[in-house]
Amino acid sequence: MSNPGTTIIIREVEFPPEVVLSEKKSQLRSFLISRRALIRSALALSATTAMRGLPFAQAVEAGLTPAARGEDGSKFLSDPNWKPTFLNDQQNETLIALSDVIIPTTDTPGAKEALVNRFLDLLLSIEPAESQRQFTGALASMDRESQKQFGKDFHELAIQDQVWLVTPWSYPADADPWVGEESSSNSVQQHFLRLKRLIAYAYYGSEIGQKELGWDGEFTHGPYEGCEHEDDKHT
Amino acid sequence: MAQDPLQQIYDVIVVGSGATGGWAAKRLSEAGLKVALLEAGRSVSAKEFTEHMPSFQLKYRNHSPEIMRTRPVQRQCYACMEYNYEWFVNDLENPYSTPADKPFSWQRLRILGGRSLVWGRQSYRLSDVDFKAASRDGYDTDWPISYADLAPYYDIVEGYVGITGAAEGDQMLPDGKFLPPMKMSCGEIRLRESVKKNFGRTLTIGRAAILTQPHNGRAPCHYCGPCERGCFTYSYFSSPFTTVRDALKTGRCTLITDAIVSHVDMDSSANKARGVTFVHRATKETKQIRGKAVVLCAQSLESTRILLNSSTREYPNGLANSSRMLGHHLMDHVVGGGASGTFEDLKTVPSANPPHRPNGIYLVRFRNTPAEGKHPHFIRGYGFQGGAEPQFNLNASGIGADYKKAVKLGNYGVSLGAFGESLANFDNFCEIDPDLKDAWGIPALRISMTHGKNEAALMHDAGMTAAEMLEAAGARDVRVTTGTEMPGMAVHEVGTARMGNDAKKSVLNGFCQSHDVSNLVVADGSCFVSSACQNPTLTMMALCVRASDHLIERFKRNEV
């Protein structure tokens, strides 16, 4: 909280010395060091102002998001004692199996390693009841179809049978002008596509998924160069 | 121990530390005046910037239940994220009302720098086609100033802020003093050339308040991407690290944070403002601060609310409101029309790595121009913002290794979204809600605004013309939107204390000075007479500098 009782007067805004960014990647390291130096100098400034009786430090501590405090909020994902908070064990197993079919480990890690089920369980735990029902309904429809064709739940199937079952649903259906919205929106294909969208979102949003897309952790690679074609073909 | 800052009499009290308040504080204090700058929120520090933090480190990856709970309105803003939501007001503490059938999204920050911390940075000049629009089409009234009056102030603001852009010589969008332009992608160059050849229209790289070379002690952009999470090199313009800092350096400006101004105090016998009353954000204590002049830069709706809450016996309908225009003519650019598609023949190499260009393209208004003549279905016009770049394709078909490959291959997306002029309409207004107060006991606003037929026609036309232009450039799978989003979504609200030469029909004169109270100035977006279709912040800053210089002259002549 900002200092109660007194009016807060700020006499200077923190403004660390000019930082000149190198366009060369080789100089990024010194740049990163200067970033840390900046943080130190900023902290020092807060401390000095606080000692002068100006409640600057308290003022800036108030109302920070966990991100602004530098907290890594993803740590819960790898907790060895993790248990689902929203999904039941059956639903969790179905989700893990399905995510592994849609985004398997290839030469790069897949959705199972990215702990997609854990992130989705967290999101579901805060979703409105209607979205929760839609999700669990979609998972149940995977088991229903699996039972119909194989007499087993989805996660009990062999991987090749899981692939066989869902592959046709993963392609766009040909639109039938005579079929109304109602019959299609809750079809097993719609359920599958909804789950696929969420699994893909959770996978590509994870650290493993970002690396799958080539993310290298650097926050700069120099200026944007745009089109580099000499002719005007732009192909 | 320094003197109690509240026991002194300042030359000027400036309310609000955002894009305009920062300029007022800088300009006035550099001219030798003693300034108190009041900010409703806390101070801000580069320590809390999160622009380089990967999104997977956010616990909810931007779906934080804390945002849902405390910022149900603010989260409608694309810039309000799990990274920075504490910069935005807590909606539970800062309520406002609307009629049930007129939703309005009021997106705002209370922190040093205000919305300049998260703004879109697009910076465009208005032209005389805008300032004198009424003379051309007969709707409403002209501004009391022309482009020639404001051009020198655009120069001052651009010269200091640093605007990247390219000169185009298009009369609808006057060129300015630009830093080197950012580069365009292949798809953007193709679209620009097609639009010029097939339609005779101007498409240019976005003009943005982002540095592309060192400027005034700030380093150029390092293209990390998400400016709205802060910038530790201060490469985009935000007031705390530029104008406010300059003002404090003069030694004549006192910054008081956590000061929520409730109303302007009047000396009724002299008919002059004598300061403001504020409530301390943390203690909720009420305090006064005295000044010879008051400059409101709190943001259009907030400055208007302060004046409406400042009624006296002489001004029973709100301070400086003898015209009864205060609160009326609320405008916000209409958005929702546009189109998107893909360039299937362009090579796609989407990248998760920087450089991410924090800027787009701009397609200059081409409807109802002096060259093109009158459109049969609507007056005024719209400009497009957009871009073209390779993107990952999470919607790819299939599963397994093939799906993973298709996602990475991606596609080359291209899109245009319109910002249309919102017509000044007396019936779009804000007033004090007699039954609603904020967490500090200050009466809250009731906002009543809808976009009308003209705005709907603009967006309908925009969807159509965007699709035409994308298809002409070779885009496929073109999707069109023609609706209008709810007012407030452009976050360009202006016009509730309009300027004019006639004191019976306007709140302010051409120098943003109240017609009724000579030492009261309102130097934010509320002075706008029309919204034009260009992003308003650059114009607000230029108007504010002009208003500040006028006030300085009046101090010099001993008129205050």
Tell me the pLDDT tens digit for each residue of B184-221: 999 999 999 999 999 999 999 999 999 999 999 999 99
Could you tell me which chain A residue has the CA closest to the CA of B211? A223
Kindly identify which residue of chain B lies nearest to residue A164, measuring between CA atoms. Answer: B399
Nearest chain A residue to B194 by CA distance is A232
Q: What integer is the mean pLDDT of A49-61?
A: 35
Q: Answer whether A126 touches B (CB < 8 Å).
A: yes
Lowest average pLDDT, out of B90-94, B201-205, B349-353, B508-512, goes to B349-353
| pLDDT band per the 50, 70, 90 thresholds, residue A10 | low
Cis, peptide link before residue B355, omega less than 30° from 0: yes
Owner of token pair 């779906």: B63
- Model confidence at B2: pLDDT above 90: no
Has residue A151 got a pLDDT over 90? yes
Is residue A199 pLDDT above 90, yes or no?
Answer: yes
Kindly list the residues from chain A whose CB atom is less than 8 angstroms away from the CB atom of residue B407: 200, 204, 213
* Nearest residue to B248 via CA among A75, A138, A14: A14
| CA separation for the pair B230, A46 (Å, rounded) | 19
A232, closest residue in chain B (CA to CA): B190
| Residues B328 and B496 sit within 8 Å (Cβ to Cβ) | yes
* Average pLDDT estimate for A189-203: 97
Set of chain B residues whose Cβ sits within 8 Å of the Cβ of A67: 50, 53, 57-58, 82-84
Please, which pLDDT band fits residue B90 given cuts at 50, 70 and 90? very high
* Inter-residue long-range contacts of B511-514, CB under 8 Å, 24+ positions, other chains counted: B511/B546, B511/B547, B511/B550, B511/B551, B512/B543, B512/B544, B512/B546, B512/B547, B512/B550, B513/B547, B513/B550, B513/B551, B514/B320
Q: Are the C-beta atoms of B262 and B275 separated by less than 8 Å?
A: no
Element (H, E) at B553: helix B537-556
Is pLDDT above 50 for B17? yes
Confidence of residue A176 (pLDDT cuts 50, 70, 90): low
User: Residues A71-83: what's their mean pLDDT?
Assistant: 95
**Among B308, B280, B391, B394, residue whose Cα is nearest residue B342:** B391
pLDDT band at B349 (very low <50, low <70, confident <90, very high): confident
pLDDT higher than threshold 50 for residue A126:
yes
Residues B289-306 have pLDDT tens digits of 999 999 999 999 999 999
Percent residues over pLDDT 70 in chain A: 66
B78 in helix, strand or coil? coil
Nearest CA in chain A to B243: A13
Residues of A in contact with B42 (CB under 8 A): 2, 8, 59-60, 62-63
- The CB density around residue B316, as the number of other CB atoms within 10 Å, is 8
Q: B216 near B160, Cβ under 8 Å?
A: yes
d(CA B421, CA B172): 14
Helix crossing, B537-556 with B147-161: angle to 10°? 100
Predicted local distance difference test score (pLDDT) of residue A232: 63
> For the ranges A51-55, A93-97, B55-59, which has the lowest average pLDDT?
A51-55
Residues of A in contact with B252 (CB under 8 A): none
Q: Which of B222, B398, B408 sits opposite A170 (nearest CB)?
A: B398
The two structure tokens encoding residue B452: 């009308």
Task: Give the full edge-to-edge strand order of the sheet including B203-205.
Answer: B203-205, B361-363, B382-391, B411-420, B334-342, B476-482
How many CA atoms does the CB half-sphere of A158 hold within 13 Å?
A: 3
- Taking CA A69 as the corner, what is the angle to CA A64 and CA A72, rounded to the nearest 5 degrees? 130
Kindly report the three-state secondary structure assignment for every residue of chain A.
CCCCCCCCEECCCCCCCCCCCCCCHHHHHHHHHHHHHHHHHHHHHHHHHHHCCCCHHHHHHCCCCCCCCCCCCCHHHHCCCCCCCCCCHHHHHHHHHHHHHHCCCCCCCCCCCCCHHHHHHHHHHHCCHHHHHHHHHHHHHHHHHHHHHHCCCHHHCCHHHHHHHHHHHHCCCCCCCCCCHHHHHCCHHHHHHHHHHHHHHHHHCCHHHHHHCCCCCCCCCCCCCCCCCCCCCCC
Q: Nearest-CA neighbor of B362 among B168, B98, B197, B517?
A: B168
Q: Which of B222, B246, B395 to mutate to test the interface with A (most CBs of A within 10 A)?
A: B222
Q: Which of A130, A184, A39 is nearest to B45 (CA)?
A: A39
Between chains, do A13 and B240 touch, taking CB under 8 Å as contact? Answer: yes
Of A5, A11, A224, which has the smallest distance from its Cβ to B182's Cβ?
A224
Q: How open is the CA angle B490-B491-B497, to the nearest 5 degrees?
A: 115
CA pair distance A126, A119, nearest whole angstrom = 12
| Predicted pLDDT at A178 | 65
Q: How far is CA B207 from CA B168, B364, B420, in A?
A: 11, 11, 18
Residue A86, min C-alpha distance to chain B (Å): 15
- Residues linked to residue B411 through DSSP beta bridges, in sequence order: B391
Q: Which of B92, B87, B94, B95 is nearest to B115 (CA)?
A: B87
Does the reported pTM lie above 0.90?
yes
Give the CA distances from residue A46 to residues A14, A25, A198, B42, in Å, rounded to whole numbers and listed in that order: 8, 32, 43, 14
Average pLDDT value for residue range B486-492: 98
**Confidence check: pLDDT of B239 > 50:** yes
Q: Which of A13, A15, A32, A98 to probe the B interface (max B CBs under 10 A)?
A: A13
Size of interface A-B (CB pairs under 8 A): 257
Distance between CA B58 and CA B67 in Å, rounded?
13
The pair of structure tokens assigned to A224 is 């944007």
pLDDT at A46 > cutoff 50: no
> Does the pLDDT at position A19 exceed 70?
no
Would the CB atoms of B397 and A19 count as touching at under 8 Å? no
Tell me what the mean pLDDT of segment B44-49 comes to. 94
DSSP bridge partners of B205: B361
For residues A230 and A77, the model is more confident at: A77
CB contact under 8 A, B63 and A163: no
Cβ within 8 Å of residue B186, ≥6 positions away: A226, A227, A229, A234, A235, B346, B388
d(CA B546, CA B305): 23
Q: What are phi and psi of B355, to 5 degrees?
A: -75, 135
Return the structure tokens found at B222: 């390092």
Residue range B338-364: mean pLDDT, rounded = 94
The whole-angstrom distance between B529's CA and the closest CA on chain A is 35
CA dihedral B179, B185, B186, B189 (to 10 degrees): -40
Contact A235/B186, CB-based, under 8 Å? yes
Q: Is B479 in a helix, a strand, or coil?
A: strand
Question: What residues are paired with B37 via a beta bridge?
Answer: B14, B255
Nearest neighbour of B54 by CB, restricted to A11, A12, A210: A210
Distance from the B262 Cα atom to the nearest Cα atom in chain A, whole angstroms: 16
Provide φ and ψ at A118, rounded to 5°: -70, -40
Dist CA A122 CA B63 (whole Å): 10
Cβ(B499)–Cβ(B364) below 8 Å: no
Chain position carrying tokens 């013309």: B465
Burial class (CB in 10 A: 0-12, 13-18, 19+), B86: buried
Per the structure block, which two tokens stand in for B274?
A: 């004598």
DSSP strand E in B67-200: where? 163-164, 178-179
B96: Cβ–Cβ under 8 A, 6 or more apart, which residues?
Answer: B106, B433, B436, B444, B445, B446, B447
Nearest to B192 by CA among B460, B448, B387: B387
CA-based nearest distance A152→chain B, Å: 22
Which residue, chain included where needed, has tokens 């900002």? A2
Q: Report pLDDT for B347.
A: 81
CB-CB contact of B466 with B337 (8 Å): yes
What's the CA gap between B440 and A165, in Å, rounded? 60
Would you state the torsion angle of the CA atoms of residues B284, B289, B294, B297, taken in this order, to the nearest 10 degrees?
-30
Query: What is the band of B487 on the pLDDT scale with cuts at 50, 70, 90?
Result: very high
Inform me whether the C-beta atom of residue A80 falls under 8 Å from chain B C-beta atoms: no
- What six digits make up the tokens of B522? 């309102």
* Contact check, Cβ <8 Å, A21/B219: yes
Q: Count the Cβ atoms, other than its own, within 10 Å of residue A75.
A: 10
B204 DSSP β-pair partners: B362
Burial of A178 by CB count in 10 Å (0-12 exposed, 13-18 middle, 19+ buried)?
exposed
The helix (H) or strand (E) run that includes residue B277 is strand B272-280
- Written as one letter, the residue type at B16 is G
Q: Taking 60 as the threshold, does the pLDDT of residue B326 lie above it?
A: yes
| B318-B320-B324 Cα angle (round to 5) | 65
Q: How close, in Å, is residue B203 to chain A by CA atoms?
A: 16
Select the residue of B45, B350, B399 nearest A42 (Cβ to Cβ): B45
With a threshold of 0.90, tell me whether the complex ipTM lies above it: yes
DSSP 3-state of B270: coil
Q: Which amino acid is at A64?
A: L
A224 and B394: CB-CB below 8 Å? Answer: no
Mean of the pLDDT values across residues A64-72? 95
